[in-house]
Chain A
Amino acid sequence: MTTTAPRRSLRARRARSAAMISLTVVAAVLATLPLVFILALLIKQGASSLNWAFFTAMPKPVGETGGGMANAMAGTLMLIAIATAIGLPVGIGAGLYLAEHRNTRFAWLVRFLSDVLNGLPSIVVGIFAWQFLVRPVKHFSALAGGIALAVMMVPLVTRATEEMIKLVPDSLREAALALGYPRWRTSLTVVLRTALPGIVTGALVAVARIAGETAPLLFTAFGNQFWSTSLTQPVSALPLQIFSYAISPYEEWHALAWAGSLVLLALILVISLIARFVTRSRFGHGHD
């Protein structure tokens, strides 16, 4: 190709360049189209079956109209709370370690494996949690579901924490140490506090990511038609409920699945927007 290039006329080369550039524009349009279609349909189908009862009522048996997903929403919040309670401290701790031991071999290994963990299929995390937490006690539980989600959350929080702490200037750390602060207090009260908005953002992004996960919950939280707040009982979640309604043969359940999807996506988008807002409000007039 390089050998034929000089022989082509300038006009042909320019035309070719313009054509390829327009193709990238076409690619951009094609890539955003599915999103527009999905969002439009979600809003149209979801909004028409969304009402107050959806948020307050329990699922109804087949044939009865109405009913809602109150238990699934409570379940999702509960699972997120369990996952955050476990995943956040572990992730922040590991992130602190990685930021403070940047170039050691062990830190490199942990960083690499945390990326690998992040790329594992969620269904594999699901069967691992089942084998490890459900099989020995012989029943599904909210706790097992929350831990499965925590496994997915840890690598996200770890890397976010590390990146944010790296942004804290060394001079700040040095100033605190020079004032006689011990290392641990410097890390926790000066460095971590400075990086906090970024870490909150990272944590919220991680929550947004796990909120929509279904596969890790299939054999752990399992789903529940009834109200449950017990850690040791199966619990429902929005994605699980959407799944079982979507593959059911009943019209009313399909409508509920659309409404549930709209609520789930709205929840994820709100969390993501808050995540953006948290960083912008502190670091707003900076480099970005």
Chain B
Amino acid sequence: MASTSLHGASVGDRIYRFVTTAFALSIPLLLVLLAIEVAVAAWPALSSFGLSFLTSAEWNVVDGIYGAAPAIYGTIVSSALALIIATPLAIGVAIFLSEFAPPWLRQPVAFLVDLLAAIPSVVYGLWGVFVLVPLLRERVMPFIADRLHLGDTPFFSGPAYGPSMLAAGLILAIMVLPYISSVTREVLMAVPRSQREAALALGATRWEMIWGAVLPYASSGVLGGVILGLGRALGETMAVTMVIGNRHEISASLFSPGYTMASQIANEFSEATNDMHLSALMGVGAVLLFITLVVNMLARWLVWRVQRQGRA
């Protein structure tokens, strides 16, 4: 009796072990499969255009010439704009919540900021189309161009259509803010209390404590949060597609419409007329995949380093 149950147990254990290992293995396999599928589909375009796929601004479906430079440029500019706007705000919120907020305010404000991450991209897009873009076109863009007299500078020149790089950057800023702020909050909380007490004991004001003792300790984690936000911004699709204007063109002006890699795929994929066009869009996807992989790995590594430091 006992021996059969022991025997049964070891079979059960082996099955259990096999099944959980298989599921765990499915994650690396899935990533490899994903990378291979996208790379294989992108290969015809990448191999026939080579480096010019990354550097050429010409995207001509009729003549079959594909260069993704405007989409790559647009992705980088809109994400950079988003980070420039969102980072100071997100770090400010995180400092407020982890250091200064009274306990009764901490939970509700943290909840509200986290809620920003719960709103679907397409709902941001809807808001962008009917609120943000008209607001930019009728108020903000004329104000920047005429009142601030910046209309002659290359960054704010040209007609104010509304759908623009500026609109994409703004909406992305709102969308990545909760990610940066929640990671920053976590790493700030991981900073040991002794670090703060030491600064205060040396006569630092509360801000000097933050600036001199807390932020430097958490800096690589905060950087990780910002890069994580960058990863989100680079791949964000729906909201950007709806407000960026979808024009395949490189322009220094933030007022002019543009494209991002994600929005180009979303916009053209179902209308792709021939195999090379499809392959070129897959190529855009492959470039996006590669960039976000690198960015995410970097971010995870930085956050992981700080958290390990905080525990030790």
A158 and B17 alpha carbons, distance in the complex (Å): 16
Would you call B174 and A97 a contact (CB within 8 A)? no
Scoring B24, B38, B281 by chain A CB atoms within 10 A of each residue's CB, the highest score goes to B24
A107 to B289, CA, bound (A): 24
**A190 to B30 Cα, complex, angstroms:** 30
Residue of B nearest to A32 (CB): B112
| Residues of chain B with a CB closer than 8 A to A107's CB | 24
A215 and B131 CA atoms in complex are apart in Å by 22
Q: With a CB–CB cut-off of 8 A, which chain A residues contact B237?
A: 121-123, 214-215
Residues 2-15 of chain B: 1 if any A CB is under 8 Å from the residue's CB, otherwise 0? Answer: 00000011101101
**Complex contacts, B181 vs chain A, CB 8 Å:** 31
A96 lies within 8 A of B20 (CB): yes
Q: Are B24 and A98 in contact (CB under 8 A)?
A: yes
- Interface residues in B, total, Cβ within 8 A: 92
Q: In the bound complex, how far is the Cα of B241 from the Cα of A243, in angstroms?
A: 10
B16–A21 contact, CB under 8 A? Answer: no
Q: A41-B131, A131-B38 are in contact. Are A21 and B123 (CB under 8 A)?
A: no
Using known A-B contacts A25-B96, A38-B119, determine if residue A31 contacts B27 with beta carbons closer than 8 Å.
no
* Contact across chains for A218 and B269 when beta carbons are under 8 A apart: yes
CA gap between A194 and B208 in the complex, in Å: 45
User: Nearest A residue to B101 by beta-carbon distance?
Assistant: A28
Quick one: which of B28, B96, B282 contacts A28, CB cutoff 8 A?
A: B96
Task: Confirm or deny: B95 has a beta carbon within 8 angstroms of a beta carbon on chain A.
Answer: yes
Q: At the interface, yes or no: A160 with Cβ under 8 Å from chain B?
A: no
Whether B305 is near chain A, meaning CB under 8 Å from some CB there, is no
Contact A124:B38 (CB < 8 A) given known A93-B19, A117-B30, A183-B13 = yes
| B80 sits at the interface (CB 8 A) | no
CB atoms of B31 and A28 under 8 A apart: no
Query: In the assembly, what is the distance between CA of A215 and CA of B15, in Å?
Result: 37
Whether the pair B120, A113 counts as a contact (CB closer than 8 A) is: no
Q: Which of A51-59, A61-69, A225-233, A258-266 contacts B (4 or more CB under 8 A)?
A: A258-266
Question: In the complex, what distance in Å separates the CA atom of A63 from the CA atom of B274?
Answer: 34
Whether A14 is near chain B, meaning CB under 8 Å from some CB there, is: yes
**Which residue of the partner chain, among A26, A151, A219, contacts B30 with CB atoms under 8 Å?**
A151
| Beta-carbon contact of B269 and A261 below 8 Å | no
Given the interface pairs A257-B126, A269-B118, the reply to whether A125 lies near B113 with Cβ below 8 Å is no
Provide the bound-state CA to CA distance between A18 and B206, in Å: 8
Output the least CB separation between A44 and chain B (Å): 11
Interface positions of B from 16 to 36, Cβ below 8 Å from A = 16-17, 19-28, 30-31, 33-34
Indicate if the CB atoms of B270 and A218 lie closer than 8 Å: yes
Cα A14 to Cα B204 in complex, Å, equals 9
- B127 proximal to A (CB < 8 A): yes
Cα–Cα distance between A128 and B282 once the two chains are bound (Å): 9
In A77-119, the 8 Å CB interface with B consists of: 89-94, 96-98, 100, 106-107, 109-110, 112-117, 119
Known: A123-B262, A212-B121. A97 touches B115 (CB 8 A): no
The answer to whether B27 touches A123 (Cβ under 8 A) is no
Nearest to B265 among chain A residues (CB) is: A123
The listed residue (A23, A117, A183, A215) touching B121 by CB distance below 8 A is A215
Identity of the chain A residue whose Cβ is nearest the Cβ of B272 in the assembled complex? A219
B109 to A32, Cβ gap below 8 A?
yes
Q: Is B104 an interface residue (CB 8 A)?
A: no
- Minimum CB–CB distance from A156 to chain B (whole Å) comes to 12
- B13-A184 in contact (CB<8A): yes
Do residues B13 and A182 form an inter-chain contact, with CB atoms below 8 A? yes
Interchain CB contact under 8 A, A123 and B266 = yes
A246 B207 Cβ-Cβ under 8 A: no
Contact with A along B136-174 (1 / 0, CB 8 A): 000000000000000000000000000000000000001
Q: How far is A28 from B109 in the complex, measured between Cα atoms in Å?
A: 8
Cβ contact within 8 Å between A16 and B205? yes
A 153-174 contacts with B by CB, 8 A: 154-155, 158
Residues of B within 8 A of A90 (CB): 23, 26
* Chain A CB within 8 A of B64 CB: no
Contact B266 A28 (CB under 8 A): no
Q: Mark B215-246, 1 if CB is under 8 A from A, else 0.
A: 00000000000001001101111100010000
A-B contact pairs, 8 of them (CB 8 A): A23-B92, A94-B26, A119-B231, A121-B234, A124-B38, A154-B27, A218-B270, A239-B120
Given pairs A110-B27, A115-B296, 6 additional interface contacts (CB within 8 A) = A96-B20, A113-B28, A116-B293, A128-B34, A219-B270, A265-B120
The 7 closest A-B pairs by CB, nearest first: A121-B235, A27-B92, A212-B120, A93-B23, A184-B16, A182-B9, A17-B207
User: Measuring CB to CB, which residues of chain B are less than 8 angstroms from any residue of chain A?
Assistant: 8-10, 12-13, 15-17, 19-28, 30-31, 33-34, 37-38, 40-41, 88-93, 95-97, 99-101, 109, 112-113, 115-116, 118-127, 129-131, 174, 177, 181, 205-208, 210-212, 228, 231-232, 234-238, 242, 262, 265-266, 269-270, 281-282, 285, 288-289, 292-293, 295-297, 299-300
